[in-house]
Amino acid sequence: MKPLFLPVTSEVYEWYHHGKSWEIRPYRKLYTEKSVFNGRKVTVSRGYTKDRFKGVIDREPIVGTLEDILVQVPYDSLIPVAESNEEARAVILDLTNVEKYIAFHIKKK
């Protein structure tokens, strides 16, 4: 199976170099338990440029509402620049506002 390709904004890409280890995506076609699972290789890319790094999903993903995820995942490993759960929630909702999300831990290689 090919690595899961994860394009992110330049800002989010930089967060991975400052403590971000969890990715959160809207739960939909490309991001479900069928494609996001423990042991799956990933490629995190600054947009669609060649600036990338490889990793692996090394834990079971968490599926649920944003509130469900923020109870289980430390906010600063999702959004390193946030100073509270509330601030992390606001940043995530500013990027994407859906009812259901999938969050997964990425170990950089």
Distance CA 50, CA 91 (A): 26
Q: Per-residue pLDDT tens, the chain, 109 aa: give them.
A: 999 999 999 999 999 999 899 999 999 999 999 999 999 999 999 999 999 999 999 999 999 999 999 999 999 999 999 999 999 999 999 988 899 999 999 999 8
Write the single-letter amino acid at 15.
Answer: W
Kindly report the pTM of this predicted structure.
0.93
Q: Determine the Cα–Cα distance for residues 79 and 26; give it in Å rounded to an integer.
A: 16
Distance CA 96, CA 83 (A): 19
Residue for token pair 């909702």:
93
Q: How far apart are CA 46 and CA 28, in angstroms?
A: 21
Distance of CA 56 to the CA centre of its chain: 12
Rounded to a whole number of angstroms, the distance between the first and last alpha carbons of the chain is: 18
Neighbours of 96 (CB within 10 A): 11
- Write down all domains in the chain, each with its CATH number in brackets: 4-108 (2.30.130.30)
Quick one: tokens of 5?
């390709």
